[in-house]
Amino acid sequence: MTGAAALQRWWPWVPLLVLVLLPVGIRETFYLDLLMTTFMYAAITLGWDIMGGYAGYVSLGTVGFYGLGSYAGALLLLRFNIPVFVSAPFIGVLCSLVGAGLGWIALRTRAAAFVIVTLTFTSIVQLLALNLKGLTNGSSGLYMPLLTLPNNLILLPFYYYMLALLVFAYFVSRAIRGSKFGLGLIAIREEEEKAEGLGVDTSLYKILAFAISVFFACVAGALRAQYLNYVDPDIAFDLFITLSPIVMALVGGRGTLIGPLLGAFLVQPLSQYLVFLLPSSVAGQLHLVALGVVLLLVVLFMPDGIVNAYRSARAGGSGWRGRRQTAPPAEAAP
């Protein structure tokens, strides 16, 4: 292995090590909370990008799955006494099945139905959360017991769990990118009919990709509910959870491995900082406006996101359609 190849392979472990060790030095809740939220968004964005970036199908249903995860986590804890830390991965798998079902409805055609179905799904889940009062307590929400940990440590399990989710999302995304499946998804984004004409079962690919992509939002939702010790329809179905990952993916670069990470680590701290600066009475609305402005700027000046802009600047190529991270060229194969 050459030095460059080794660097390519091992560099992700460096920032990871830093993030793992960070809580030793940093104890301020503000920063740890910010980092944890960033991990959460990064994981959700990596997931969203499997569908929205690789396959090119934009989902507006992220918060539907996040909310589903939140309620599932809360209910499993309250009704069956299963700790969220235990149930979260299973909730994720369950949501993937729901995602597959939804995909089966919406993804067997090439129509724009997908966007609408994902949006409708979110509304339906939210309506259920609001109206199945016996189960969800309606708009009053559900209170969950606190973890029994000293106050100064209570953040840490969430910090590491979210970090683990992020690492998992990274490796899933990386594995897909390097596989025949991932190549098929990109083929769908570029020329769906052509892909079909070359033997690719495009429906299956899309359904599978969507099922995988919603896993992360679901797990994140479950964890977040326990972190806040509370869930209600407003919190669980915050539009931000749908919009932020899209903005983050666009900022960083859709359809790349690093783009979603970069986007989350840039946008989330920035937008938290904004909230911190503004009086709380207007922070909510301005926050949304700021996100919109960021999105507008990106679309105007860097439509392919940072990673793709950087790559095409280096390769003299043509944006995200033009140059992506690919498997090493043939010569590099052993």
Partner 1 sequence: MTRADGAAPALPAGTLEARDVYRSFGGVTALAGCSLRVEPGTITGLIGPNGSGKTTLFNCITGFYQVDQGQVTFGGVPIQGRRPNEIVHMGVVRTFQVTRIFRGMSVLENMIVPLRQQTLKTLFRPAIGGHEQERAEHLLEFFGIVQLRTHLAGSLSFGQQKLLELASALMVGPKLVMLDEPAGGLNPIMIERMAGYIHELNQQGTTFCIVEHNMDLVMQFCDPVFVLHRGQTIASGPPSIIREDPLVLDAYLGD
8 or 179: CB nearest partner 1:
179
Report, in Å, the least distance between residue 308 CB and partner 1.
10
178 or 269: CB nearest partner 1:
178
Report, in Å, the least distance between residue 53 CB and partner 1.
12
100, burial (CB in 10 Å: exposed 0-12, middle 13-18, buried 19+) = middle
Is residue 285 close enough to count as binding partner 1 by CB under 8 A?
A: no
Among the candidate windows 34-42, 151-159, 171-179, 282-290, which touches partner 1 by CB under 8 A? 171-179
Those residues with Cβ within 8 angstroms of residue 173's Cβ, 6 or more apart along the chain or in another chain: 46, 47, 49, 50, 257, 260
Contact at 8 Å (CB) between 57 and 210? yes
Contact at 8 Å (CB) between 251 and 267? yes
Count of residues touching partner 1 (by CB under 8 A): 37
139 or 326: CB nearest partner 1:
326
Report, in Å, the least distance between residue 261 CB and partner 1.
21
Q: What are phi and psi of 143, to 5 degrees?
A: -95, 135
**Contacts with partner 1, 202-241, as mask; x by CB under 8 A:** x-x-------------------------------------
Rg (CA), the chain: 20
Distance separating alpha carbons of residues 269 and 165, to the nearest angstrom: 19
Q: What are phi and psi of 81, to 5 degrees?
A: 60, 25
Which residues in 313-332 contact partner 1 (CB under 8 A)?
317-318, 320-324, 326-331
Distance separating alpha carbons of residues 69 and 108, to the nearest angstrom: 25
CA nearest neighbour of 216 among 245, 194, 239, 248: 245
Find the angle CA(23)-CA(27)-CA(33) to the nearest 5 degrees: 80
Contact at 8 Å (CB) between 51 and 211? no
Among the candidate windows 126-134, 177-185, 221-229, 261-269, which touches partner 1 by CB under 8 A? 177-185
Judged by DSSP in three states, 135 sits in helix
196 or 238: CB nearest partner 1:
196
Is residue 190 close enough to count as binding partner 1 by CB under 8 A?
A: yes
269 or 319: CB nearest partner 1:
319
Report, in Å, the least distance between residue 324 CB and partner 1.
7
79 or 180: CB nearest partner 1:
180
Report, in Å, the least distance between residue 245 CB and partner 1.
23
Is residue 194 close enough to count as binding partner 1 by CB under 8 A?
A: yes
Find the angle CA(196)-CA(197)-CA(198) to the nearest 5 degrees: 90
- Catalog residues that contact partner 1 under the rule CB under 8 A: 175, 178-184, 186-187, 190-191, 193-202, 204, 317-318, 320-324, 326-331, 333
